[in-house]
Amino acid sequence: MTAEQQARATLADVARLAGVSAKTVSRAMSGDGSVSEVTRERVMTAAKRLRFRPNTLARNLRHGGVTNSVAFVIGDITNPFYFNVAAGIERELATKGMTMLLATTDDAPGSEAVVVDALLAQRVRALIIVPIAKDQSYLEGERQLGTPVVCVDRPAHHLVADSVVLQNRLGIEEAVRSLIAVGHRKIGFVCSPAELYTHQERLLGYRSALLEAGITDSRRYERLEPVLGATAEESVRELLALDDPPTAIIAGNNRASTAAWRELFNRSPRVAFIGFDDFEFADTLGISVVAYDPIELGREAARLVLARLDDPSGPPRQIELPTHLIRRGSGEVPPPDAPDSTIAP
Amino acid sequence: MTAEQQARATLADVARLAGVSAKTVSRAMSGDGSVSEVTRERVMTAAKRLRFRPNTLARNLRHGGVTNSVAFVIGDITNPFYFNVAAGIERELATKGMTMLLATTDDAPGSEAVVVDALLAQRVRALIIVPIAKDQSYLEGERQLGTPVVCVDRPAHHLVADSVVLQNRLGIEEAVRSLIAVGHRKIGFVCSPAELYTHQERLLGYRSALLEAGITDSRRYERLEPVLGATAEESVRELLALDDPPTAIIAGNNRASTAAWRELFNRSPRVAFIGFDDFEFADTLGISVVAYDPIELGREAARLVLARLDDPSGPPRQIELPTHLIRRGSGEVPPPDAPDSTIAP
DNA sequence: CTGTTAGCGCGTTCAT
DNA sequence: ATGAACGCGCTAACAG
């Protein structure tokens, strides 16, 4: 690493070396206007010799001061869920030559606006966020200025914006019904913090499906962690330590799923289990889950951005992506008192 | 979403409304020069009313045309390994107010230069890449222009650059020795494509550790997929179908680990197994692995970038991050013919 | 086909 | 403490 900090060549430098005007170089490089074959050659040679690299920034500044990147704002980058969504966004954007800027709020509601502001100052083309703050109205002005804002996984609060969410209720309802069909009446629900929209929805799905089956005494089986980061392992232990423990457990999100299964693994008598969000080995291990496609979640969000860039007008769009129960065995375990599981009738 | 595309306010607009010069606004906003308290107030109010947002791009253009983001170029965004590295990079950059631009080459060696060129045109501050092309000399010019280039996981070819890699050989050697200590002499090695530096290193580690123990006839137990995407499941099946099958298997990378374990799971007699790269449930399932910290890999890369931005001179730095064997049981299974495993002496 | 002028939004260098 | 002029790298709008 030598410090031979050679200066970066500009259009003007190339023009000088090629003996033409800057604009001609511009034309030659971008293939925009018409340039004679000879001069184009001359320009290209000069550019190569000077290691010229067009400055997209300056170009965009001239065009209206917007970059080519879309910002994706997430809470915790170590959560694989976000990562898969990011993968979908990146892929979809790449088809249009756009790049993804990734930023983190560390799941701190207070830092959302700060992080977003910094990104907007960098003139990102659009914003895709997993809302964590309780109020996104601070983005209203930016939206009016023409910056598309798309919310993923959770809708925005106090802001008109496109969004992509999952069919959370339906997913959990399907899981509950499936357990009931096998004979369960005592079904537990463990999940991460209750405040989040997704978890609220899933809780509502859990309750409505139970109600539907005439089960009205399940509140004691609900365990929503009060704080982010608390593990579902404890919740499961608590539930199973009850005098009248549940015979089946549903987890409401990915972290809770893995934590819960960790606790249920190797326990007997076997407690039926259905997780939320598919994961590696869930198939090999025979774990039933309410699955969905996180990559598609990202792709849809990016598509909404692209559509909005194409046509800023029109009403906000709310997309709901399907969830579906995958039966692999763990959710099909009957309760111990079921007719089929008794040794003799 | 109405189409009320109101124009974006600039420094000049704010200046006009506040009745001062543009430079005064600039001073007031950046808190740089000295501004009287009254005018500062006036400027701030005007800025708020116009929803003014300073344009970082224009500012940076004035400063030398460089953005605040560092590009991270990876092959396949769906590989959790890259994701964790990305997490480390993002976190470390965030401490300096920088953001991460994520780009993908789809593991196509030919597209690396294309993607990188586009990023450089966007004037990223630095480049962190997982090299996939056979030659990174195309970056030499850029390096001389002062753009730090850091390679992760694999060193660059034909380019002087900082890099962070793992202690690949040592990791696999430790695994092999551990298996040998339990009594294994027939040890298989399954891995993804052979061309990659990491896999070559691990293969060499495998061979040297065997040689060290006087085992010289293990070539028939080596299975390196010729193409990316081929699964290690087949390789494992092949190995176990041999007349004289191995009694232990080592996987050389994360994808191979999960695929191999999928195949070994529920098989009997139990084949000893050690994977490479830790993963969710490896602990719960009792799978021994050669582990390392992917997030730290990213953080180190980002630190190299920051150091290089701070001081471009100095020799290239090569950092090797440690790997270590985590014994959880699967790697401690003795061979069927071992004295301890026989029922009676 | 090519060059000139002007200006994108901001900061620097002088002035005042 | 504040302002005017100029320039960062590039391109639109006009020449010629």
DSSP string, A197-263: HHHHHHHHHHHHHHHHTT----GGGEEE-SSTT--HHHHHHHHHTSSS--SEEEE-SHHHHHHHHHH
Of the listed ranges A214-218, B40-44, B60-64, the least confidently predicted one is B60-64
* A 42-71 residues, CB < 7 A, strand C: 58, 61-62, 64-65
Is B22 near strand C, with its CB below 7 A from some atom of it? yes
Q: State the amino acid at position B42 in one-letter form.
A: R
Residue ranges and CATH numbers for the domains of chain B are 11-54 (1.10.260.40), 69-166+294-321 (3.40.50.2300), 168-293+325-332 (3.40.50.2300)
User: What pLDDT was estimated at residue A339?
Assistant: 62
Whole-number distance in Å between B116 CA and C4 C1': 35
Given an 8 Å threshold on Cβ–Cβ distance, is A123 in contact with B56?
Answer: yes
Is A35 near strand C, with its CB below 7 A from some atom of it? yes
Q: Which of A13, A73, A102 is the mutation pick for testing B, counting most B CBs within 10 A? A: A102
* B 229-288 residues, CB < 7 A, strand C: none
Do the beta carbons of residue A188 and residue A249 sit within 8 Å?
Answer: yes
| Residue B190: closest CA among B239, B241, B132, B245 | B239
Which positions ≥6 away from A126 have C-beta within 8 Å? A70, A71, A147, A148, A149, A150, A305, A308, A309
Given an 8 Å threshold on Cβ–Cβ distance, is A265 in contact with B284?
Answer: yes
Count of helix runs (H) and strand runs (E) in chain A: 12, 12
User: What pLDDT was estimated at residue A215?
Assistant: 97
In this predicted structure, the answer to whether residue B65 has a pLDDT above a threshold of 50 is yes
Given an 8 Å threshold on Cβ–Cβ distance, is A102 in contact with B103?
Answer: no
Whole-number distance in Å between A96 CA and C3 C1': 34
| Residue B113: closest CA among B139, B90, B93 | B139
User: What pLDDT was estimated at residue A8?
Assistant: 83
| Residue B77: closest CA among A124, A300, A299 | A299
Do the beta carbons of residue A120 and residue A69 sit within 8 Å?
Answer: no
Residue A94 with chain B: CB contacts under 8 Å:
103-104
Given an 8 Å threshold on Cβ–Cβ distance, is B91 in contact with A99?
Answer: no
- Per-residue model confidence as pLDDT tens for chain A (345 residues): 444 456 788 888 888 888 888 888 888 888 777 788 888 888 888 888 888 888 888 888 888 778 889 999 999 888 889 989 999 999 999 999 899 999 999 888 999 999 999 999 999 999 999 999 999 999 998 988 889 999 999 999 999 999 999 999 999 999 999 999 999 999 999 998 877 899 999 999 999 999 999 999 999 999 998 765 567 888 999 999 999 999 999 999 998 999 999 999 888 789 999 999 998 889 989 999 999 999 999 999 999 999 999 888 889 999 999 999 999 999 999 999 766 544 443
SS3 label, residue A275: strand
Residue A86 with chain B: CB contacts under 8 Å:
77, 83, 102
Whole-number distance in Å between A28 CA and C13 C1': 35
Look up the protein residue whose alpha carbon has the minimum distance to the C1' of D8. Answer: B62
In this predicted structure, the answer to whether residue B5 has a pLDDT above a threshold of 60 is no
The distance of B56 to chain A (nearest Cα, Å) reads 5
User: What pLDDT was estimated at residue B125?
Assistant: 94
Residue in chain A lying closest to B55 (CA): A121
Whole-number distance in Å between A59 CA and C8 C1': 9
Q: What percent of chain B has pLDDT over 90?
A: 61
Task: Tally A–B CB contacts below 8 A.
Answer: 180
Task: Name the residue with higher pLDDT: B64 or B51.
Answer: B51
Q: Tokens 């050690």 belong to which residue?
A: B274
| Residue B50: closest CA among B1, B95, B7, B2 | B7
The distance of A127 to chain B (nearest Cα, Å) reads 14
User: What pLDDT was estimated at residue B6?
Assistant: 65
CA angle (B48, B49, B55) in 5-degree steps: 55
Residue A103 with chain B: CB contacts under 8 Å:
90, 94, 99
Q: Which tens digits make up the pLDDT trace of B110-135?
A: 999 999 999 999 999 999 999 999 99
- Mean pLDDT taken over chain B: 90
Average pLDDT over every residue of B178-193 = 95
User: What pLDDT was estimated at residue A345?
Assistant: 39
Do the beta carbons of residue B180 and residue B214 sit within 8 Å?
Answer: no
Look up the protein residue whose alpha carbon has the minimum distance to the C1' of C6. Answer: A62
Is B24 near strand C, with its CB below 7 A from some atom of it? no
Average pLDDT over every residue of B332-340 = 81
Given an 8 Å threshold on Cβ–Cβ distance, is B99 in contact with A122?
Answer: yes
Of B1, B94, B316, the CB nearest to A160: B1
Read off the tokens for B292. Answer: 């390392």
Given an 8 Å threshold on Cβ–Cβ distance, is B144 in contact with A55?
Answer: no
Count of helix runs (H) and strand runs (E) in chain B: 12, 12
DSSP B183-215: T---EEEEES-SSSHHHHHHHHHHHHHHHHTT-
Which chain C positions have some atom within 7 A of a protein CB?
A: 1-5, 7-13
User: What pLDDT was estimated at residue A344?
Assistant: 41
User: What pLDDT was estimated at residue B265?
Assistant: 87
Which nucleotide's C1' atom has the smallest distance to the CA of B21? D3
Is A22 near strand C, with its CB below 7 A from some atom of it? yes
**Global pTM value:** 0.90
Is A23 near strand C, with its CB below 7 A from some atom of it? yes
User: What pLDDT was estimated at residue B337?
Assistant: 78
Do the beta carbons of residue A188 and residue A203 sit within 8 Å?
Answer: no
Of B117, B122, B280, the CB nearest to A57: B122
Do the beta carbons of residue B249 and residue B336 sit within 8 Å?
Answer: no
User: What pLDDT was estimated at residue B339?
Assistant: 62
Which chain D positions have some atom within 7 A of a protein CB?
A: 1-5, 7-13
Average pLDDT over every residue of B245-271 = 92
Which nucleotide's C1' atom has the smallest distance to the CA of A14? D9
User: What pLDDT was estimated at residue A34?
Assistant: 78
CA angle (B15, B18, B20) in 5-degree steps: 55
Is B32 near strand C, with its CB below 7 A from some atom of it? yes
